[in-house]
Each structure stands twice: as structure tokens, then as C-alpha cells.
Structure 1
Amino acid sequence: MERKRIYLVGLGPGGREQMTQQAYAALADADVLCGYTGYVDLVRGWFPEKETYTTPMTQELARCRWALETARGGKTVAMLCSGDAGVYGMAGPLLQLTEGG
């Protein structure tokens, strides 16, 4: 099966009107929305057909491992973060768990 990708998506400071077009496009392209339960709940209504995977706070490494395995299995995953995915989000933990990271 073809390896897919993981998008790290910063939800921005507020509602849909404050999200970048690139972030929204990543959510639309993804097969699965993954993240802290509260963040996924914010966007679930925009994409009711999408599979979701959520965990509570403090389960960041488990989310990253799940996202990596799911992408290796052939699905595109959108990992949701608040604000900037590189500063307040999951970029660091996800990169640490990647091969060679």
C-alpha cells in the first residue's frame, strides 16, 4: 500500500474565518482527523464523513505514534494543533518519533 502523509494543522486563533486556506485544505484532503479531543471537536462538524482519532491531554506521544502508523498504512492524517503547529503543537514530538528523527 502507498505510504500517505501527515499534515500538521494549526487551527489558528479562532473560528474558521481565522484559519488559513492552506490549513483548511489540509483538513479537507485528509482521510483522518487526529488530535486532542477538544481540537477535533472544533472541526468535526465541517467534515462529518471523516474518520477521527482523539486522545485526552498528556497523550501527545500516543497520538503521534498512531498518526505515523496510520500514514504508513496508507491514509493521509491531519494532526490538529492549536495556533502554530510548529510552536504550540505536535511538530517536535512527531519529528522525534519519525525514522531518523
Structure 2
Amino acid sequence: MVLPDAARIAELNDHARQTFTDCRVCITPGIQALGDEMLRAILLAVQQFDSFTPDNDPYEEHDFGKIEISEHVIFWKIDYYDVDLSMHSPDPSDPTVTARVLTVLLADEY
């Protein structure tokens, strides 16, 4: 079921992912181990991702993606926390009460 605020959430998620602002960006040990050059390529691919479909974005929030670089399958995801990062956000469509966390990980780390 698509929420009424899905378009606003997608807009905020796209902004966070494309600019790496208004969010925290986390990479996993597996991503870090690939080295700086690969990290730059992966982060650029995450920022440029625009292949949202009903299969990979059923709630139309633009909060998950899968990319492939070289032989690596990489996921990125956005989670919504309250501003203290202690629990789920009470309203992901409201940036004043939401801290977005963008995590980039190897698929096999999921």
C-alpha cells in the first residue's frame, strides 16, 4: 500500500541520496574493503540511481536500490529515525522530526 505522503518521502529520499546532505551516509566494512577508487565509483552510482520500478520500489518512497559494479552487487537503503536516532521516525515526510540514514552495503552483507 502506497502511503499518501509517499511522493514527499520520495522527494526527501532522492535529495538525501543524490546530494548526501540532510542524511547520514554509512558504508559497511565490505564496501570499505573495496578501496577508495571503488568506493568513489559506488557512491557516484548510488547518487545517480534512478531505476525505480514497482518491483524494487513498491511503496514509491525511493528508499532502496540495487546496483552492480564490476563483479559486485551493492544495495543501498534509507532508514528513518527520530532526530535522536533512538527509534523510528514518527513521520518520515517531515524532515524536522526525521533523521535519514543512507546505508551502502554489499548484497552478501544484507
The verdict on a shared fold, with TM-score over 0.5 as the criterion, is no
Query: For this structure pair, what is the TM-score category when the shorter chain's length is used for normalisation?
Result: under 0.3
Larger Rg: 2
TM-score, length basis structure 2: 0.26
More helix, by proportion: 1
Greater relative contact order structure (CA < 8 Å, 6+ sep): 1
TM-score, length basis structure 1: 0.27
